[in-house]
């Protein structure tokens, strides 16, 4: 089917104005919202129609099209909301074991390389659009008018309450990022924290910030894969790292979690997930942004956990929180876009803004959410009601 044929069939809510390379204009749909696209090259039509999931982002990076006056974000939101069901059918196609290993085969050495691809880009870039604590994961908008900074602190507090921390406890942070959560837990709850990361850039920044805050005696960061780590902990937390594990290694991850967690311990997994069944990762995102990445279905988490001594003691689903987080990251990125283009190039800017805006769309219109999975080995490891999460 041609691109115009796809638009005629699927565009039901809103209006898309299309300008062809020869200046001809066409209009699809009706009403609000309204967005536009300017096609700069004739081949763009054919390429997007042949493989919209990959070529929409690819041709944008290459300059094959530009958004209309409304901008990139409204264009992506209009198309993603209207094409949600078509893409959902593609994303629900489960992979066979061989393809899973090829796409998500995150053995230790490959895991280091995949993480480095994204997180070792440049501290300078991340400081331009993240909050001042450098949290590169979903914020928790406990109140609708919260700033990004306040929402990231609310996320940390929410996690801390679920961990049931007590002074003197040992905590492991698997995939500690830039170190913000580890330092928050140590300073606010008087615990000691070991953080694991596969990014040299994150390791350097986290260690420098830890020393600046005078937390070296309570927080230590290690360049280490979770499968290489030993020791035992009262509490274990992992935020935004599980998306890099890969489905073939879910069993190994939870078995290792069980080995590292004390018998009376509590663990919390914060991960992007999908509300539909097992599926695939978008090919463009997998190639340019998160190689080896995959967001799990709840059924995949459950199946892996059932083979370990760990039990689920609480499950929470965050729905639009990541959409709001990504919207703010996009806004901040756009405010410094000229600087980013000067430091990198226009192609990089197009890649990054397409990543942020399209990922927002997956949380706002598609099946992406965040799972908060609290785990323990004993029924009495956490209270039998959730009142403890309301502690002032």
- State the catalytic residues: 359
Gap between the Cα atoms of 345 and 238, Å rounded = 33
Distance CA 39, CA 19 (A): 6
Query: Rounded to whole angstroms, what are the CA distances from 78 to 17, 36, 70, 281?
Result: 11, 10, 11, 21
Report the C-alpha gap between 375 and 367 in whole angstroms.
Answer: 24
Q: How far apart are CA 221 and CA 230, in angstroms?
A: 14
SS3 173: strand
d(CA 333, CA 353): 8
- Distance, CA of 83 to CA of 391 (rounded, Å): 42
d(CA 32, CA 34): 5
Cβ atoms within 10 Å, residue 212: 10
Count of C-beta atoms within a 10 Å radius of residue 131: 21
Cβ-based neighbours of 217, under 8 Å, separated by 6 or more:
none
Distance CA 293, CA 309 (A): 26
Residues 219 and 186 sit within 8 Å (Cβ to Cβ): yes
Task: In whole angstroms, give the CA distance from residue 180 to residue 136.
Answer: 9
């Amino acid at each position: 089917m041609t691109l115009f044929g796809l638009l005629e069939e699927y565009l039901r809510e809103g209006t898309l104005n299309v300008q062809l390379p020869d200046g001809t204009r066409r209009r699809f749909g009706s009403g609000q919202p309204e967005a536009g696209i300017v096609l700069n090259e004739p081949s763009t039509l054919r390429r997007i129609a042949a493989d919209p999931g990959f070529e929409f982002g690819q041709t944008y990076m290459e300059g094959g099209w530009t958004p209309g006056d409304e901008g990139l974000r409204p264009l992506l939101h209009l198309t993603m909301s209207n094409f949600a069901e078509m893409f959902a059918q593609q994303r629900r196609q489960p992979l066979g074991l061989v393809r899973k290993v090829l796409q998500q085969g995150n053995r230790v050495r490959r895991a280091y390389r995949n993480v480095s691809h994204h997180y070792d880009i440049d501290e300078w870039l991340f400081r331009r659009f993240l909050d001042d604590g450098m949290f590169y994961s979903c914020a928790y908008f406990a109140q609708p008018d919260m700033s990004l900074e306040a929402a990231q602190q609310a996320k940390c507090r929410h996690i801390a309450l679920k961990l049931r921390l007590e002074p003197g406890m040992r905590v492991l942070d698997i995939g500690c990022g830039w170190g913000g959560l580890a330092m928050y837990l140590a300073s606010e709850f008087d615990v000691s924290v070991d953080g694991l990361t596969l990014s040299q850039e994150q390791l350097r920044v986290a260690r420098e910030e830890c020393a600046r805050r005078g937390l070296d005696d309570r927080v230590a960061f290690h360049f280490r894969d979770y499968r290489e780590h030993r020791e035992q902990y009262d509490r274990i937390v992992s935020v935004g790292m599980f998306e890099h594990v890969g489905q073939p290694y879910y069993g190994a991850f939870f078995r290792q979690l069980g080995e590292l967690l004390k018998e009376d311990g509590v663990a919390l997994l914060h991960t992007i997930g999908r509300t539909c069944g097992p599926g695939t990762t978008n090919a463009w995102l997998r190639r340019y942004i998160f190689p080896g990445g995959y967001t799990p279905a709840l059924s995949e988490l459950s199946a892996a956990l059932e083979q370990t001594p760990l039990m689920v003691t609480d499950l929470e689903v965050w729905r639009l929180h990541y959409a709001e987080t990504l919207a703010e990251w996009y806004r901040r990125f756009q405010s410094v876009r000229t600087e980013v283009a000067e430091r990198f190039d226009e192609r990089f800017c197009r890649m990054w803004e397409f990543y942020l805006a399209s990922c927002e769309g997956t949380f706002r219109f598609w099946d992406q959410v965040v799972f908060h999975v609290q785990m323990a080995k004993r029924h009495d490891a956490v209270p039998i009601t959730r009142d403890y999460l309301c502690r002032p």
